[in-house]
Amino acid sequence: MTQTVYEHGLLVVDKEPGMTSHDVVAIARRALNTRKVGHAGTLDPMATGVLVLGFNNGTRLLQYITDGDKSYQATIVLGASTITDDFEGEVIATVDASSITDDQIHTELNTMRGTFMQRPSSVSAVKVDGERAYDRVRAGEDVVLASREVTIPQLDVLAIRRVAMKIEIDIEVTCSAGTYIRSIARDCGDALKVGGHLSALRRTRVAGFGLDNSVSLAALKSGEFSTLDLADVARSTFPAREISLDEKLELSFGRTLAPNAAEGIYAGISSANELIALLSNVDGKAKPIAVFAAAH
């Protein structure tokens, strides 16, 4: 049986619950037959949904194409606080939330739209003195992270369910990179004085990558999947600039070209639909900020 050769590209995986993002990378390495696989935007083990992978030269493109906003569907539980702000952590307090009204829930969540300062969950990948916050928490430290500016243009309540003394709230969120959905659950619960945590989280989109172009882990393991071409992804993300053979040679040595038509990042693509470089105007010249193709 002939092994399919995957040279360079991207892959969008629909992550399953109970596994780390690194677990998905390990499966992709076997499926793509390469060690050079990376991911953008870590998902917690409890979370499912869009995880964008790059392989070979695609790993170098990831940082430029996944900085946009993200979308999630999630479920908040009011009436219990946990050490991790999600259902996987130890419950540290329970309060009867049954008296909280739907209006109170809507009013509180409405305050979380727009741009504001948000404190990340203590059990997050944020580094504190060189060590991940979640490692410090698991070692028994009490970690409180500094707040950071986030933007949430969309936060819609899809459903509210009352289960005994707790309330479950399904929400849909679009937010800037660096926003913690667990923090929304925690802050809503704290504001209503009943505590809150996240019981479900599904990422539906990362920048221009959605569930509609994702592959399942089963498909990945069976080899029945398709990848995304670097040039096609770059063309759909940035303005494109056609690169001649002479210009390709110049870029392979890190040299500049005549300026792009406008400011911002341009994708330099050959007539053979090969991504050559990402270019940005600096001092009146188009400077390569990342080169993907060597001169032949």
Options 3.30.465.10, 3.40.50.720, 1.20.1530.20, 3.30.2350.10; CATH of 9-66+207-228: 3.30.2350.10
Instruction: Return the domain boundaries, the chain.
Output: 9-66+207-228, 70-206, 231-291
| Cα separation values, 12 from 18, 78, 187, 217, Å | 18, 33, 31, 10
- Residue whose structure tokens are 């409180």: 144
Nearest alpha carbon to residue 105 among 131, 140, 137, 79 = 79
Same fold, 9-66+207-228 and 70-206: yes
Nearest alpha carbon to residue 39 among 201, 208, 23 = 23
State how far the Cα of 62 lies from the Cα of 233, in Å rounded to an integer: 10
pLDDT of residue 1: 44
**3-state secondary structure string across 66-125:** CCCCEEEEEEEEECEEECCCECCCCEEEECCCCCCCHHHHHHHHHCCCEEEEECCCCCCC
* Domain at 70-206, CATH homologous superfamily: Pseudouridine synthase (3.30.2350.10)
Identify whether the C-beta of residue 138 lies closer than 8 Å to the C-beta of residue 226.
no
Q: How would you classify the pairing of strands 127-128 and 209-210? A: unpaired
| Mean pLDDT estimate for the chain | 91
* pLDDT per residue as tens digits for the range 222-268: 999 999 999 999 999 999 999 999 999 999 988 999 999 999 999 99
* pLDDT per residue as tens digits for the range 45-64: 899 999 999 999 999 999 99
Prediction pTM value: 0.90
**pLDDT tier, 44 (very low <50, low <70, confident <90, very high otherwise):** confident
* pLDDT per residue as tens digits for the range 153-195: 999 999 999 999 999 999 999 999 889 999 999 999 999 999 9
* pLDDT per residue as tens digits for the range 80-129: 999 889 998 889 999 999 999 999 999 999 999 999 999 887 665 555 55
Q: Which of the residues are catalytic? A: 44
**pLDDT tier, 130 (very low <50, low <70, confident <90, very high otherwise):** low
Options 2.102.10.10, 2.30.130.10, 3.40.1360.10, 3.40.47.10; CATH of 231-291: 2.30.130.10
